[in-house]
Amino acid sequence: MPRGQVAWRAAAALAGAVLLAAKGAWGGHELAVYPSYYPHEIRIETVAPAEAPGLLQNAKIQGYIGAAVRFPGTPPKAIRAVQSLGGIVTLRFNPTSPLAADATSACATAAAIMRELAPDSVGLVLHPYPVTPFDGDYLYHVDRAEAARARFLDGPAGPPPGLKIRADDRVAGLVRPEWRAVGEDWDAALEAVDVAAMVADATQALDGWSGPAWIKTGWFRAEHLLGATADPVTKERADGIVRRLKSSDYRDPVERINLERDLVAALTQGCRKTVIGYTVKREYFNADFNDGIENVGFDSLAGLASATFIRTVKLKNFPWNGWLALGIAARPETAWNPIAGFEDGFGRLLWSAVGDAGLIPAPYDAGWMLNRVSDVRAGAL
């Protein structure tokens, strides 16, 4: 060991002895300033939805992620929920159906079907526009969303006689029994798309970076859901707008917003496939004073399965840090890659805890927010 280092340590020890002799000192494990609320231990375990209510109420887990939880009666006062965008429900016409012979007929039939659905049966919010209030770019589309609602939902009911609708299990309750199609004889199909899964599938993670930014925009979802069924002319125009948006080929934010509006307008004009509404996902956590959590941040699309939640949550039983126990419906299913990130629901939640990226997705908008760093401008010293 170098002599200088020994001398420094000896001097430091001597200074400490002098201070202790001069004045009494009190010791303790608690810091006067807490650097972070970040839990020093996070346990994530797969929990079946039926087991989650009891574990939440007994604070065996502080939060449950990814699946609907049903409590017997009203949830206890200590159990709270966050809401995020759950799924998008679309109506798609069979190309061989005479009801979709032209755009006018398809739009009229789509409107008549929407007015006859039973949205309360599956918790559907009727919203015939692909950009929702959960999207950060909804403000740029709110006028057209309201116009679409008036166009499709305000008017007489009464779909064509003999209508046959095919629906997947998640939205079968929307359809009257006499409308349900059997086999390949169907006029229209109701389909539900999980938004968080769609965003996860489109996300590219590499070396702490997660993106691209536009995967959380309503216009990107519109292109993803409706682009494949557009007619060739509309698809060519939409593809050109998407290329400009993704390459930032616009002069200023005003032109960008107009491009986004033009894209959604082009994709929603034909009605051979149209968005009819969305569902809301509710994820529960324990907010009990002793064993619960507070300061719960979440993502408008991913909900609690996000880095925002992990970075903000604080355990009430500790002035700092603590032990966080989370339940998740998903089981580990894919390989874990510490360079490119994890690809299943369980792994993505785990990665958001251990990856500790410098930038994490913004909770309510497209883009990122700073994590662990500050936006400090250099100034005169």
The string of pLDDT tens digits covering residues 47-58 is 999 999 999 999
Scanning the structure block, which residue is given the tokens 């992620």?
Answer: 65
What is the residue-averaged pLDDT of the chain? 84
Secondary structure of 115-140 as H, E, C letters: CCCCHHHCCEEECCCCCCCCCCCHHH
What percent of the chain stands above pLDDT 90?
A: 53
| Amino acid occupying residue 51 | E
The pLDDT assigned to 233 comes to: 93
The pLDDT assigned to 20 comes to: 39
Q: Is residue 203 in a domain? A: no
The token pair at 22 is 């001069």
Q: Is residue 222 in a domain? A: no
> Running DSSP on this structure, what letter comes out for residue 344?
S
Q: Over 90: is that where the pLDDT of 171 sits?
A: yes
CA distance 239 to 280: 30
Q: Count Cα atoms within 13 angstroms, Cβ side, for 158.
A: 2
Calculate mean pLDDT across residues 270-289. 94
The pLDDT assigned to 201 comes to: 85
Q: Is residue 302 in a domain? A: yes
Coil, strand or helix at 294 = strand
The pLDDT assigned to 24 comes to: 43
Label residue 21 by pLDDT band (50, 70, 90): very low
Q: What is the pLDDT of residues 203-260, one digit of tens each?
A: 877 666 677 888 999 999 999 999 988 899 999 999 999 999 999 999 999 999 999 9
Q: Is residue 300 in a domain? A: yes
Task: Indicate the burial class of 93 (C-beta count within 10 angstroms; 0-12, 13-18, 19 or more).
Answer: buried
Among the residue ranges 135-149, 242-256, 344-358, the one predicted with the least confidence is 344-358
Q: What angle do CA 14, 20, 21 make, to 5 degrees?
A: 90
Q: Is residue 147 in a domain? A: no
For 76, residues 6+ apart whose C-beta sits below 8 A from its C-beta are 57
CA distance 272 to 150: 19
Q: What is the pLDDT of residues 111-127, one digit of tens each?
A: 999 999 999 989 999 99
The pLDDT assigned to 66 comes to: 86
Q: Is residue 375 in a domain? A: no
The total of structural domains in the chain comes to 1
The pLDDT assigned to 12 comes to: 38
Q: Over 80: is that where the pLDDT of 166 sits?
A: yes
Calculate mean pLDDT across residues 121-138. 95
Q: Over 70: is that where the pLDDT of 36 sits?
A: no
Interstrand relation of 63-65 and 323-328 (parallel, antiparallel or unpaired): parallel
CA 208 vs. chain centroid, Å, equals 19
The pLDDT assigned to 17 comes to: 40
Q: Is residue 58 in a domain? A: yes
CA distance 307 to 362: 9
Q: Over 60: is that where the pLDDT of 22 sits?
A: no
> Running DSSP on this structure, what letter comes out for residue 366?
S
Q: What is the pLDDT of residues 289-341, one digit of tens each?
A: 888 999 899 999 999 999 889 888 888 887 767 889 999 998 888 777 766 56
Q: Is residue 331 in a domain? A: yes
CA distance 89 to 80: 26
Residues of the domain holding 65: 41-82+284-370
The pLDDT assigned to 156 comes to: 77
The pLDDT assigned to 37 comes to: 56
First-to-last CA distance in the chain? 38
